[in-house]
Amino acid sequence: MLLCADGKFYTGHTDDLERRVAEHSNGGYCKFTSPRRPIELVWSETFSTREEALSAELTAKKWSQAKKRALIAGDWKKLSYFAKPPQERLSTSLDTNGEANALNPVRVERSRDTETLK
């Protein structure tokens, strides 16, 4: 998962993470990320098969910004919370519903996977 300069996330799958991140960083390889550079790798996971990776990509693409941020942060409590439909969530504060993020700059903690690529 990449964080773009405009605060949007790009989710994809590849069999060569370093090469693919470099392509996104250089631009011209993806209509979504090229105009949104610079990008930053914020989360990655290894899967046994390409089919599993594609399935995870398609699932995560549908997630809200708040749910993606919870995944990136490894905050399983928030991830579980945002997995519930909004009408089933107990809290109405801006912080837990993810709406405050639309007003504030995006800040994402680096995952352990990001550190291994440097």
Express each pLDDT in 34-84 by its tens digit: 999 999 999 999 999 999 999 999 999 999 999 999 999 999 999 999 999
3-class DSSP string for the chain? CEEECCCCEECCCCCCHHHHHHHHHHCCCCCCCHHHCCEEECCCCCCCCHHHHHHHHHHHHCCCHHHHHHHHHCCHHHHHHHHCCHHHCCCCCHHHHCHHHHCCCCCCCCCHHHHHHC
Mean pLDDT of the chain: 84
Provide the domain limits for residue 46: 2-117
Confidence band, pLDDT 50/70/90 cuts, at residue 2: very high
Instruction: For residues 87-109, give the mean pLDDT.
Output: 57
Single pTM value for the model? 0.74
Distance of CA 110 to the CA centre of its chain: 11
Instruction: For residues 19-42, give the mean pLDDT.
Output: 96
Per the structure, the count of domains in the chain is 1
